[in-house]
Amino acid sequence: MGWLMLALIGIAAALALWLGGVARSLWTFAGAAMMLGATGYALQGRATLPGHPVASNAEPIEVDPAMVELRDSMLGRFTADGAYLTAADGMTRSGDTKSAVQWVIAGTNKYPRSIALWTGLGSALQMHDGTVSPATLLAFKHAAQLNPRHPAPPYYLGLAYIRSGDYAAARPYWARALALSPPDRSYRKEIAFQLGRLDLFLAAAERAQTPGAPQE
């Protein structure tokens, strides 16, 4: 049955080429493609297997445009190494965090001294693992070694802890990121705002755990 369907597809393709007015000199390319498909079917096809609907096993993940804008302001935009981060963002949006990590790794192989990519690798690993793993820490550590005075590695390591639910661990890294941010950079105000909100949250959590503490 499978071979019959393949033959019918071949006939239909030839008819489409003829009706479409495609030059006969180009038919050989279509024939080669059909033969390649037939070879693959002969080697791997199993026509007796029952059909079943295919569904994606990945849940889409929202990538906050404001966070992308903040990253661009800290690390630059429209750069050659930044293209890998953009591709990783696309994989993350589709829920394929493994491919996101692979994209960033490919970028670090091509641009091994890119602080943006090593910082992005730490973030991608955390999104994939769901925690701040040793590999995540190693990526952020390498990013910080490339430029110890840049605020991005400590900021995004803090964000990785936030996403992992460890808010207290994030606090010193965001404080360092703020200290490293030049006064004239637009992202400094945003980091200060986020650090302030984190301090309010940590203070409220401490009061909630202290018996008899006044609640605001």
One digit per residue, the tens of pLDDT, for the chain of length 216 reads 555 555 556 665 555 555 545 455 444 545 555 554 555 555 445 555 554 444 444 567 777 788 888 888 898 877 889 899 989 999 998 889 999 999 999 999 999 999 999 999 999 999 999 999 999 999 999 999 999 999 999 999 999 999 999 999 999 999 999 999 999 998 999 999 999 999 999 999 888 887 665 555
Q: In the prediction, which pLDDT does 64 show?
A: 75
Q: In the prediction, which pLDDT does 43 show?
A: 46
Q: How many CB atoms lie within 10 A of CB 33?
A: 11
Tokens 């199993």 sit at which residue? Answer: 46
CA atoms lying within 13 Å on the CB side of residue 73: 16
Instruction: Please provide residue 131's backbone torsions phi and psi, each rounded to the nearest 5 degrees.
Output: -155, 170
Nearest to 118 by CA among 101, 130, 98: 101
Q: Which CA distances in Å does 182 have to 115, 149, 186, 209?
A: 17, 10, 9, 36
Residue 209 sits at the vertex; the CA angle it makes with 163 and 202, to the nearest 5 degrees, is 40
CB-based contact 89:68 (threshold 8 Å) = yes
Give first-to-last CA distance, the chain, whole Å.
74
Instruction: Please provide residue 183's backbone torsions phi and psi, each rounded to the nearest 5 degrees.
Output: -60, -25
User: How does 122-146 read in b/e, with b if 16+ C-beta sit within 10 Å?
Assistant: bbbbbbbbeebbeebeebbebbbeb
Q: What is the dihedral of CA 50, 51, 52, 57, to 10 degrees?
A: 100
Q: In the prediction, which pLDDT does 67 show?
A: 86
Report which residue type is found at 73.
Answer: S
Nearest to 124 by CA among 143, 154, 102, 142: 102
Q: In the prediction, which pLDDT does 41 show?
A: 52
Task: Read off the pTM.
Answer: 0.70
Question: Distance (Å, rounded) from C-alpha 153 to C-alpha 159?
Answer: 10
